Amino acid sequence: MTCGARVVSMVESTSGSTSVNAPGSTAGASSVGNGGSTDPTTGELVNRLTQQTTELVRSEIQLAKTEMTDKAKHAGVGVGLFGGAGIIALYGVGTLIATIILVLSLVMDAWIAALIVTVVLFAIAGVAALLGKKQVGQATPAAPEKTISNVKRDVETVKEGASS
């Protein structure tokens, strides 16, 4: 049962339109003190409300944990890609100076060969940095958006049930 469905069930059971028994409760079994009616007593309703509210809060906390774990994974991958881009750029500078200048200087001036290699290596580093930025962007905002949305919907459902 989803969080929203539990709130609807909780509101309906407290408003009297639907009889939903909490596990282990004896709601509807006792007719003492309420005129022979099978409606649950106020104490039973409060007990159900307490149990269902606790269950709802626990499930929302679990959803928030799951959502934050997923966002942390994306942030970790993004940071790793940024670090990789920096290392590639660093090695690129060293490789640029040593190798390509020697090879290209055979067919052109040495400074033109060095410039071509520099542009290519920094283009590769730029692509890695853009991929890292995309991963970090998927991790923001750090707030658990789905959980916040569910809690707001649950509060509205409870308010609607209480006013009817």
pLDDT value of residue 37: 62
Q: Residue 129 — very low, low, confident or very high, per pLDDT cuts 50/70/90?
A: very high
More confident residue, 150 or 99: 150
Q: Residue 92 — very low, low, confident or very high, per pLDDT cuts 50/70/90?
A: confident
Alpha-carbon distance of 92 to 120, in angstroms, equals: 9
More confident residue, 14 or 82: 82
Q: Residue 120 — very low, low, confident or very high, per pLDDT cuts 50/70/90?
A: confident
The DSSP string of 49-88 is HHHHHHHHHHHHHHHHHHHHHHHHHHHHHHHHHHHHHHHH
Give pLDDT tens digits for 12-63: 554 444 444 444 444 444 444 445 568 889 889 999 989 998 999 999 999 8
The mean of the pLDDT values for the chain is 77
pLDDT value of residue 87: 93
Give pTM, 2 decimals.
0.40
More confident residue, 26 or 147: 147
Handedness of CA 105, 111, 116, 121 (dihedral sign): positive
